[in-house]
Amino acid sequence: MLLPEFYYFASGPRTTSKERPDSMITKERVTNIPIDCEHNWKEANQDFWCRYLGGSLAILLRHAGYSEEAQYGHWLFLNKVIAPNLGLSLHAQSRWKSFMTDDGGPVELSWEWPVGTETPKIRYSIEPIGPQAGTWLDPYNTSVLGPFNKFLLETLSETAMVWFNHFEKEFCPTQEHFLRMSSEDHSTHHFYAFDLEDDKTTAKAYFFPALRAQEAKMSTLDVICQAISRAPQWRLAGSQALVSFRNFATKPASAKLEFSMLAIDLVEPSLSRVKIYYRCRRTDFESVVHNLTLGERERAAALRQGLESLRALWDALFQVDSQSKTSLPYVNHQTAGILYYAELRPGSSMPSTKIYLPVRHYSVTDQHITTTLSSYFRTSVHHCAVQGYKKTMQSLL
């Protein structure tokens, strides 16, 4: 069955670009900052993210049924590894606007809802941001990458960087191309995501290949497929799945798809999935079926039950009648439309697909979303999980 993923992110107050907090490090001040003051400045931002993100994460973990030991372990990881690498607090003047959320914040929290009696899994995604990101000292937020990856290798025992290093080399544009970036291009280059198990945390990395495609004068799809085909051990893992996806992506009906992102698991290559993210500006349900089935009627028949369940949720969330082939209201935004991804698994000849339902742009209120999902989940997940979801939303909203 197809089950969507939903993200909730609440941003704190932000200052305007004209304000200049005393704690802000600028070119003219950098040589005059005593070491202890700089240390306190970093600690203040880390403390903000521990409280701001940690509070919400604690609520999610508790209501999702994680053990107390697991809750403490995940909070400790957030405190020691994540919070120091999220940049300035939302109360400070932000010099780096993350593409993670529409308001520029660098964090998203999510639930993964299984079918049946399994407990939900809590996850979060971040963009690591260095303390000087967006300044002349670190204009493209590149200094944080090495230290952050080192932290992951030291703290998450199953982490491997073989594929990260490969795709970083394939997708990172040259310094000269950075300087020629259009004002319409976002500056984010990497996301990381963390799946929280009761006994461990696993990591994923996300890459944005559009700038490299511009520089190489190639389509983003071609750059993605070329990078995947060159990846160590890829031919042993899932080359047929890539061929199947490329066949779909190059059909005339897929001509307007926007290929935006690639994700990998930070594990050994033989165990890693590859996810290719693509956005479609069409918002009618017929287009949803086309993109989820990769344009194959046989696949649509196999997914019929899941698609009908998704149709019912779609109509309820967005208050439309999808049978009438009605599109959702037009939204002029960079993240409007529908985001999908195709997952290429080791040993699989066909990609699996998932959809992100864009509740931020097309649903009326948070209360409507919560009520609709609670009703939907009663038919697809365990009753106790539904109660935990409702309690969580009541605490967070």
Q: What SS3 state is found at 379?
A: coil
Residue 15 to residue 18: CA distance in whole angstroms: 8
Residues at the binding site for L-tryptophan are: 108
Estimate the crossing angle of helix 366-377 against helix 304-318, to 10 degrees.
Answer: 150
Contact between 246 and 290 under an 8 Å Cβ cutoff? The reply is: no
Residues at the binding site are: 108, 123, 204, 206, 273, 275, 277, 356
- CA dist list (Å): 81 to 78, 99, 228, 231, 282: 6, 21, 29, 28, 39
Pairing of strands 338-344, 274-280: antiparallel
Give the other-Cβ count within 10 Å of 14's Cβ.
16
Residues at the binding site for dimethylallyl diphosphate are: 123, 204, 206, 273, 275, 277, 356
The token pair at 160 is: 């491997």
Alpha helices in the chain (DSSP H): 35-63, 68-77, 145-155, 162-171, 175-179, 210-216, 220-230, 234-237, 239-249, 285-292, 297-302, 304-318, 359-362, 366-377, 383-396
